[in-house]
Amino acid sequence: EKVLTKTMINNYAKGKLFFPIKNKKYSKEHLILISLIYQLKGALSINDIKETLFKVNEKTSMNLFNLNGFYESYLHVASKNIVNFNEDIVGKSTDVKNEIDLLDDPEKGDLQKILMIASLANMSNLYRRAAEKLVDELASDQKKKEKN
């Protein structure tokens, strides 16, 4: 996995992915946002991340938002996601094995791995598209609020 570098953080700051830094020091809130950005970067474009975190940044910079509480909620959901993922992998592996067993091929082991890879890539794409759709809805909702 790629390491988070000083250059990456500076680029996030220049791209206004998080609220401005005061006195050249990052606050705990900045570190939380940097962590969220790093996680989101695996699935979303920088512009989508900026759009996603816009309201969080705005409210946090005005001290109107409990970012620590939000991050705790994120960590709790992420922990549940790991459990769900591990259970889902077992089910997918069984499904893939059952499909491969229907084939008459001496290299079933390799084919099973290839089908599992394709299945996981497919699921990854579905989740990414679902996230992108939510980003678009969030942006649309924000534009509607700005018009009113």
Q: Give 80-116 pLDDT, tens digit per residue.
A: 999 999 999 999 999 999 999 999 888 898 999 999 9
**Per residue in 122-141, pLDDT tens?**
999 999 999 999 999 999 99
* Nearest by Cα to 27 from 78, 64, 59, 61: 61
Asked whether 116 and 92 are in contact (CB, 8 A), the reply is yes
**Helix 67-101, helix 108-147: angle, nearest 10:** 150
Res. 5: pLDDT tops 80:
yes
CA distance linking residue 93 with residue 68, whole number of Å? 37
3-state per-residue secondary structure call for 32-75: HHHHHHHHHCCCCCHHHHHHHHHHHHHHHHCCCCCHHHHHHHHH
Do residues 68 and 28 lie in contact, with contact meaning Cβ atoms separated by under 8 Å? yes
Prediction pTM value:
0.86
Q: Is the pLDDT score of 2 beyond 80? A: no
Q: Which two tokens stand for residue 44?
A: 């979303």
